Structure 1
């Protein structure tokens, strides 16, 4: 079985009746969403908040009941993927272009479960270029200001056009190399006019499920709220 599918299946099995579930975006979240759909057909009763228009459409196609933040006060559990996962539960996310909505849903979640294969584990963040969502107007000076923080920037494109997020913004993929102080970098980026959000998710994961050739490794933060 695919390593991502193994991790996603184990995370999806932890979802219980009555929960509000955040649905992530990307190749690993895809498997979790499909497993949740199967469980709903078997009788599981949940409501879900999607983190992207793509995930929303997938959930609708799979008959997963959806709600918005107008309908709920919090999310019980979010299942999402990551591009990098450090030992202290810092993440880089945004490879799929949904980092802003993913962060909003994660911050409203009691528990965030990250599912990934073992290639996403790193000792230090930075091998994967950091996605930064920016406002399209004046993107060039925004990029120059980001470069002054010590990176090379690449405007993400699709079919020779700037990739546009669900929020109507663009993404700069920023190669900082090794990121020694993710918190400081996140703060510096957020201070810049034109920056909407960064793909640095700090201490964001409560439970991590890593798919390997030998099965799934589960890692848990010591202060994680337990699923009841």
Structure 2
């Protein structure tokens, strides 16, 4: 189903566009499909990657890369770990790339999320990834506990110690009630030492792969 929604998202890209290239398994399929369209239709399309992974995939599939220093983003295509059905609020950052994802996605003229139906939930409950400066991890964890959260440091699987992001920082995953996502997104970011958190509240539409086809959700 992921491939179906990736193909559908690739159809949204028009000649001359600058595209935000998301991170994760579904976004990776989109990057591959976009590369195929560029080659087959001889499109002039530029990509702005949101992670080292999406950068390498774009280079592999022949998508020319530019940066936010040079261009505005016409459309960003990205995945999500969880989507709240009614609000279209998201949790992202399971892959540790949410800081650059949010920078690119929030600055796009249109932000489109691509997921399969297993990611659609009635209420957000996925642990919130919080990227923090290494020097501040202890005090940030204390603040998150004071807010009613249960924070843990994300540990690496094939190295000892914590996961280190593309930006050289650590990630704290915090489980907590999300009753007001907009306020909580700002409240977490206001903690000194926090770089960015994985609550996303500015989404234009969500393409959902279901057994019956592609469903479009809008606010």
Name structure 1 gaps, 5 residues minimum. 222-228
TM-score (norm 2): 0.95
Partner of 2:208: 210
Summarize deviations over 1:6-34 as a string: whole Å, max 9, x none.
11110111110000000000011011001
Partner of 2:172: 172
Any runs of at least 4 consecutive aligned residues in structure 1 with deviations exceeding 4 A, and if so which? Answer: none
The answer as to 2:15 corresponding to 1:24 is no
Q: Matches of 1:48 and 1:138 in 2, distance apart?
A: 33
CA positional deviation for 1:108:
1.4
Name structure 2 gaps, 5 residues minimum. none
Partner of 1:224: none
- After superposition, the CA RMSD in angstroms is 1.1
TM-score (norm 1): 0.91
Partner of 2:39: 41
Partner of 2:123: 124
How many residues are matched?
215
The answer as to 2:102 corresponding to 1:100 is no
Equivalent residue for 1:145, pick from 143, 157, 160: 143
Partner of 1:220: 218
CA positional deviation for 1:187:
2.1
Partner of 1:225: none
CA positional deviation for 1:83:
0.8
Q: Matches of 2:56 and 2:104 in 1, distance apart?
A: 17
Q: Matches of 1:35 and 1:169 in 2, distance apart?
A: 31
